[in-house]
Structures are given as C-alpha cells and as structure tokens.
C-alpha cells in the first residue's frame, strides 16, 4: 500500500519537547517508508524553527491553548478536522494516512478527525510496552517499526533552518575565540510548571559554580516574563561577583560579541527557540530542567544533564528521559536532599559526561 500513499498527516503532541522526542521519530520513519508521500505536521507554527530544515516536511499551523478552557481545546480539535478535510479533499482513503501520537489535539485519541478510520494510526503511548524500552523516544521507535515495518534504530531529531545554523556558527566563533574552556548552554525553563524547579538560590549558585570551575555559560532567558526575571536576578549576582556578562539577542548580536567576547563569563540569550537550538548545537554541554531544552539538546547530539525535580513517580523520569546519541545524565532532585548536593552532582557530571 505504501506506493499508493500520496500524503501523510501527523498530529503534533502540542509541547515542543514531546514533538522532538516522539513526533520527530514518526516523521523520520514515514520519510523512508513513504518516499513519494508529502509529509504534513499539524501543530504550532514554532515547529518551523525546530524542523524547518527538513524539506519534505511541511508545517500546517494549528494552535492549542494548554491553559485554555474546554471550549478553546475543542476549537483546536475542530481546526484539525477542517485541516484534515482540506488536505485530503481530493484523495481516496487509500491515498493518505493520519498518525496520531496520543495528541492533545484529539484529546488523546478520544475525538475523531476522519470518518473512515482505515487511514488512521493511533500510538497509545500510555499503554504501549516493549521489553527493554522505557523512554517515550525508545517506545515510539519500536511502535513505528511494528506498524510500518523495518527494524532500524531511530532517535529523536531536530532539523534546524540553514539561516539559524549560520547565525549560531558566527556567534559561537566569536565566543570561542582564544578560549580553551568548556562552553555550557543552560536553560532553566520548566514549561510553566514551577514544581519542576529547585528552590532559590539553586539556579544562581549552579551558574556561579560552573563559572568558578572555568566554564563559559550560554544562559537562555526563556520564553516567559517570569523566567526572564529569574535570569536577570542571576545576571545581577554574577556581575556583583566581578564576573563579566554580555547579553545577546537576534538583533545586532555580532557587534557586542566581536568587541567584548574575550574575558566574558556568561552570555545571555533572548530569542527564538530555533536559534537557541542552533547555539546549543555548538556548545560542549547542556544543563537544564525537564523541559523542551533537554530533548532539543539530546537530539542535537550534545552531552546533556537533566535535572528532574517535582516528578510524580520514578516511571515519569524513565518515560521522559531524552533519547540521544550523545551521553545523557539524569540528576534525580528529590526533596529529601539539600539543593547543594545537586549542584555538586551537576558539576561532577559535566566533567564526566558518561551516559546513565
């Protein structure tokens, strides 16, 4: 049947991290299984920043308000139904498929998107099991091989846009000029879930410790005003200690880096997720909480340290641990231990990047 398929529609998992960890594996599989089909990903327009470098993948924007009411969520589902109808209007059911990776757009498969479900494939990620596979990335890879055939190893992937990669190479070249110390990208985002954070002053003290150990830090200011305020407090503390900080953004970034690159301990970044991902790809290590950043870094092959805090069960950590080709280390930040212990653990892991 694969020869007949002209289009494959893939529903987003809604969160960027889940789309990297799960959805990217699905479109990679379909890219090889359906070499003649157009691949369409229905999800946030921000996905263009993470997957825009893949020529065969088209992003059709469908927005979903995670904090919205039921009516708002149902509106997103109706947008999906309309998009599916439009995308498949001139196609026979044997000429297209729809892959639903347990998406919130369909309320985890509860809401239909097509009347004839012969073309509908649902990955029930909460119940699917395979021996030896614990993370969602691993489980997804097994599922697509079970459903579409083959047995190749698949990993989460980010396909960044050429302009973002070029931008990052220019910036990092200036940052690394005459430097031998490691460059560590740090993101303290928690996806609007404060339970994933460790209490103050953990973040400030972690940055200060990494700087004292001789690292240069690329510190993301994040997407929300709350996260940006936290980073500003860290920057003030770093400057008060006599260390140098240069702030980078997408506008006019090269001049301050070129002029002040030497002797800077912390570079902050304020900009899009795509360019931040491109910058992360050029760093030696990534450190952050359980959020989209960990999945992006691991997918880019950057040695990654993930701080899991406030999790509901050990199974949650196993499921959402990022899968990548580079070493990934998990710091289990349980409430029973003092945050200083985790600072020491992160500092040690960065110096010894061996996979768990």
CB count within 10 Å of CB 233 equals 13
* In a shared domain, residues 113 and 32: yes
CB count within 10 Å of CB 351 equals 11
Task: Assess whether pLDDT exceeds 70 at residue 355.
Answer: no
Average pLDDT over residues 220-245: 95
The pLDDT mean for the chain works out to: 93
Residue 297 lies inside a defined structural domain of this protein? yes
Residue 240 lies inside a defined structural domain of this protein? yes
Say what the pLDDT of residue 255 is.
Answer: 53
The total number of structural domains that make up the chain? 2
Task: Assess whether pLDDT exceeds 60 at residue 247.
Answer: yes
Domain that holds residue 104: 7-148
Question: 12-38: per-residue pLDDT in tens?
Answer: 999 999 999 999 999 999 999 999 999
Return the DSSP state at 133.
B
Residue 330 lies inside a defined structural domain of this protein? yes
* In a shared domain, residues 184 and 46: no
Q: What are phi and psi of 97, to 5 degrees?
A: -135, 155
Task: Assess whether pLDDT exceeds 50 at residue 200.
Answer: yes
CATH number at residue 277: 3.40.50.2000
Say what the pLDDT of residue 177 is.
Answer: 81
C-alpha 106/C-alpha 36 separation (Å) is 27
Record the pTM: 0.94
Task: Assess whether pLDDT exceeds 50 at residue 165.
Answer: yes
Say what the pLDDT of residue 261 is.
Answer: 53
Say what the pLDDT of residue 309 is.
Answer: 96
* In a shared domain, residues 205 and 92: no
Q: Which of 121, 148, 175 is the last residue of a domain?
A: 148
Angle (deg, nearest 10), helices 162-176 and 273-281: 50
Lowest mean pLDDT among 66-70, 136-140, 256-260, 340-344: 256-260
* In a shared domain, residues 92 and 213: no
Average pLDDT over residues 74-90: 96
Lowest mean pLDDT among 19-23, 56-60, 293-297, 333-337: 333-337
Q: What band does 254 get if pLDDT is binned at 50, 70 and 90?
A: very low
Residue 1 lies inside a defined structural domain of this protein? no
H-helix or E-strand spanning residue 122: strand 120-122
Task: Assess whether pLDDT exceeds 70 at residue 252.
Answer: no
């Amino acid at each position: 049947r694969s020869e007949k398929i002209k289009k494959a529609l893939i529903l987003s998992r809604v969160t960027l991290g889940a789309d990297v960890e799960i959805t990217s594996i699905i479109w990679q599989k379909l890219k090889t299984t359906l070499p003649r089909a157009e691949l369409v990903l229905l999800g946030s327009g921000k996905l263009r920043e993470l997957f825009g470098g893949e020529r065969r993948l088209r992003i059709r924007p469908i927005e979903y308000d995670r904090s919205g009411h039921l009516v708002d969520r149902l509106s997103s589902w109706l947008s999906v139904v309309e998009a599916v109808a439009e995308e498949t209007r001139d196609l026979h059911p044997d000429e297209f498929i729809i892959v639903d990776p347990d998406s919130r757009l369909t309320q985890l498969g509860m809401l239909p998107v097509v009347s004839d479900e012969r073309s509908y494939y649902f990955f029930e990620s909460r119940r699917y099991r395979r021996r030896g596979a614990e993370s969602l990335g691993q489980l997804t890879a097994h599922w697509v091989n079970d459903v579409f055939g083959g047995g190749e190893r698949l990993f989460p992937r980010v396909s960044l846009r050429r302009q973002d990669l070029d931008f990052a190479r220019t910036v990092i070249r200036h940052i690394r000029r005459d430097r031998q110390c490691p460059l560590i990208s740090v993101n303290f985002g928690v996806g609007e879930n404060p339970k994933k954070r460790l209490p103050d002053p953990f973040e400030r003290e972690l940055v200060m410790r990494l700087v004292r150990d001789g690292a240069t830090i690329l510190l993301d200011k994040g997407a929300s005003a709350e996260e940006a305020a936290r980073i500003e407090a860290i920057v003030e503390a770093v400057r008060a200690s006599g260390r140098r900080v240069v702030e980078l953004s997408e506008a006019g970034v090269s001049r301050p880096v070129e002029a002040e690159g030497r002797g800077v301990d912390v570079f902050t970044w304020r900009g899009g997720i795509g360019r931040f991902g491109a910058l992360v790809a050029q760093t030696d290590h990534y450190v952050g909480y359980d959020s989209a950043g960990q999945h992006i870094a691991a997918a880019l092959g950057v040695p990654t340290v993930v701080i899991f805090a406030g999790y509901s069960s050990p199974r949650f950590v196993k499921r959402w641990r990022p899968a990548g080709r580079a070493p990934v280390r998990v710091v289990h930040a349980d409430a029973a231990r003092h945050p200083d212990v985790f600072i020491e653990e992160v500092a040690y892991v960065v110096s010894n990047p061996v996979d768990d």
